[in-house]
Chains A and B, each alone.
Chain A
């Protein structure tokens, strides 16, 4: 059975609890990735993930199927992560570690130096542009779905991704040893 079907089956039967548990089983891993890549710190990411699922549970009954379940949950997770980052930045000092430093020092990160360089370049983008880039580059989500998640037009997203790629190309071109010098725009 397709993942979305499993959720719908429980949801349409009025078993919201079972639908929620299916959402946890199916979406938790991807949502944690999205959140971690924005927030950086693992403990904070776990808090944001919990807040995300609290919000999902609170609003489950009002979901009308206007999008895929995954789109809806990505949207909540990315909003929670961006909101957390904004709050956090208000209290950061110049000596505080930034997102990449926290992410690459964490226990979940097992990427190579090239990937660390890519994340480092991403750190220089505005948070929402970083989110768009990551959803397109890492997750290969179609623009139409990212548009729903971020409440942005497809045209604006393409422009945002184009700018992000240009900035990142300039940053990672300083890093020679292979890996992610293959960043290309996707139409």
Chain B
């Protein structure tokens, strides 16, 4: 049974806000997720990231695998055309349904996403 979470959100407020939300299909999308600006999808970035990891996950003295990886570098690996890695499982966004999330490699979003996976999880995914 649901418990009271102490949040009282009035029906009137929701009705008013619903009007705004229902206008989303008529509004050009502009948000924290930047669509089409660089013309590649999250899946592509994930693939690029996986390629970087393949290079970086070799035995090394360096315990911080991402210390030197920049978002630009990830994109360069992808852009080089050397990568063909299935990495849908890499990110939680893509597992329930196969929708794509486009991100800007110049923003911090990729770094933030990386924080979700520890080195062992990444290694297990890639091996």
Contact = CB atoms under 8 A, between A and B. Distances in A.
A57 B20 CA distance: 13
Contacts of B101: 55
Contacts of B25: 17, 20, 57
Interface string B20-53: 1110110001011101000000000000000000
A24 B7 CA distance: 19
Contacts, number: 111
A151 B3 contact: no
Given A33-B7, A37-B7, A111-B4, A79 B93 contact: yes
Nearest to A57: B24
A53 B24 contact: yes
A105 interface: no
Interface stretch (B54-62, B75-83, B107-115): B107-115
Interface residues of B, number: 36
A65 B102 CA distance: 22
A63 B97 contact: yes
B3 A64 contact: no
B22 A87 contact: no
A50 interface: yes
Contact of B99 (A59, A87, A139): A59
Contacts of A130: none
A51 B5 contact: no
Interface in B93-122: 93, 95-101, 108-109, 112-113, 115
A71 interface: yes
A108 B97 contact: no
Interface of B: 1-9, 14, 17-18, 20-22, 24-25, 29, 31-33, 35, 92-93, 95-101, 108-109, 112-113, 115
Given A49-B21, A115-B4, 6 more contacts: A17-B25, A28-B17, A62-B97, A66-B96, A111-B5, A138-B5
Interface of A: 17, 20-21, 24-25, 28-29, 32-33, 36-37, 46, 49-51, 53-55, 57-59, 62-64, 66-67, 71-72, 75, 79, 83, 86-87, 90, 104, 108-112, 115-116, 119, 134, 137-140, 148, 150-151
